[in-house]
Structure formats: structure tokens, C-alpha cells
Amino acid sequence: MTETDLAEGFRYLPGYLGPEAQAALVAELRALLAEAPLYRPTMPKSGRPFSVRMTNAGSHGWLSDRQGYRYAPRHPQTGRPWPAIPAVMERIWAEVADYPAGPECCLINFYAPEARMGLHRDQDEETFEAPVVSLSLGDSAVFRLGGPTRHGPTRSLKLHSGDVMILSGPARLAYHGIDRVLGGSSRLLPDGGRINLTLRRVTRPAGE
Ligand code: SIN
Ligand code: FE2
């Protein structure tokens, strides 16, 4: 496994999860999505729908709707608590996060081939001491990484199925987004598309 440092605190671990573990996780996600279906979030204020569909696992699920961005303990449509974070995601966090407490949110983003995600920062958490750890599955995507300001320079790199990336330290609040998905680039998901799983710590652990 290689690791590339593209900016201080940004870590890219290509091929972190092998093909068999990816397939096992997809099977697990199929059951998870039956319990907590994907829904289409909307932008605060404008109410414009996201092109990405989302759901969550963990004690804290990230939501966006007209009332704003926030974390909530229940699925907005079913009213049920979010399912548990898949064990393999807990393991990835334990291996790479370098943080004494576990993740509380596993945001699950589904990108159809035409979906994208505009530049944003992950900044709805109580603590930024913990990193953001994300795993890509399925079709490759063009990821854009900026710095701490919206209009600063950016660079792009392709994220492939099984790749892990980490925003930590000085890069924890870096702007980032997905410019496009490269449809047909992976056969992991039978109907194509891309899944991104993002792990975050939401609350500040005692003692931090
Ligand atoms: C996100 O920033 O929420 C998603 C990033 C990705 O899809 O890789
Ligand atoms: Fe993000």
C-alpha cells in the first residue's frame, strides 16, 4: 500500500480495502439500505434537491433540509434510529484515525453517474480534533481538494473503489467536493454508480 501526502493532514491511501472486502461491504450495505433507505436531501433555504442521495449509520446521522445542516439520531423518513456502523468501517477508523474515541456518524452518499457534490467543508461537528475518514466504492470519481478558504487554489485526484482518504490536522477543514463520477469505471455495483462512506466524530469526547 502506498500513501501520498498531498497537503499537510490530507492522507490518501489507495486500494486500502481489497476487492473481497469491498464486495462483502456492499452486501452488508444492501441490508443496511433496506433498513435505512437512501433519500434525497435538500439545500438549506433554497430547498434545492441534492444530486447525491444519502443515508447514515451510527448514533448521529448528518441531515440537510430547509432547516439547515445538523445531526439527528433518527432517519427523517422512517423515524427509526440509524443502523449500526458496519464493523469494517469501525476497523478502518481504528487503523487510520489516530484518535482515542470512535466514530459517531457514517454518512453514506450514493452517486448516480450524473451526481456531483459542490465544494464544502465538513464543519457541523463539535470537535475538529478527530479526522474525517472516507472510503470510496464502485465507480471512480474526480475529487477536488482545496484549502481553508472557498476560493483558494484546488487540486483534483481520482478516487477509485477501495481508496481511503483522510482529512486531519490542518486539512480537517479543507474545502472538498466531487466534480464528477466516471460512469462504468467499476463493476463492483451491478447497476453502476458510486458509494462514499464518510466517518466522523460528532461530539467532543470527555477529556478533549
Ligand atoms: C463528502 O464530502 O461528503 C463526500 C466526498 C466523497 O464523496 O468522496
Ligand atoms: Fe465532505
What are the residue boundaries of the structural domains of the chain, listed by start?
A: 3-200
169, amino acid identity: G
- For ligand 1, atom 1: residue with the closest CA: 177
State how far the Cα of 144 lies from the Cα of 138, in Å rounded to an integer.
Answer: 18
Distance in Å, CA 174 to ligand 2 centroid: 9
Whether the CB of 161 sits within 6 Å of ligand 1: no
Q: β-strands 164-167, 132-138: how paired?
A: antiparallel
Distance in Å, CA 177 to ligand 1 centroid: 6
Instruction: Please list the ranges in the chain whose pLDDT falls under 50.
Output: 1
Q: Which residues pair with 133 in a beta bridge?
A: 166, 199
Question: Looking at residue 1, what is its pLDDT?
Answer: 41
State how far the Cα of 201 lies from the Cα of 107, in Å rounded to an integer.
Answer: 11
State how far the Cα of 167 lies from the Cα of 131, in Å rounded to an integer.
Answer: 6
Question: Looking at residue 6, what is its pLDDT?
Answer: 62
Measured from the Cβ of residue 38, the count of other Cβ atoms closer than 10 Å reads 14
- Whole-model pTM: value is 0.96
| CA of 197, nearest ligand number | 1
Question: Looking at residue 155, what is its pLDDT?
Answer: 94
Whether the CB of 56 sits within 6 Å of ligand 1: no
Surrounding ion ligand 2 within 5 Å at CB are 122
Whether the CB of 115 sits within 6 Å of ligand 1: no
Distance in Å, CA 201 to ligand 2 centroid: 13
- For ligand 1, atom 6: residue with the closest CA: 196
| CA of 165, nearest ligand number | 1
User: Which atom in ligand 1 lies closest to the alpha carbon of residue 111?
Assistant: 7
CA atoms 45, 50, 55, 61: torsion sign: negative
User: Which atom in ligand 1 lies closest to the alpha carbon of residue 134?
Assistant: 8
Distance in Å, CA 31 to ligand 2 centroid: 24
Dihedral angle computed from the Cα positions of residues 90, 57, 60 and 142, in that order, rounded to the nearest 10 degrees: 80
Fold of 3-200: Jelly Rolls (2.60.120)
Question: Looking at residue 208, what is its pLDDT?
Answer: 84
State how far the Cα of 155 lies from the Cα of 180, in Å rounded to an integer.
Answer: 14
Question: Looking at residue 4, what is its pLDDT?
Answer: 55
State how far the Cα of 195 lies from the Cα of 109, in Å rounded to an integer.
Answer: 6
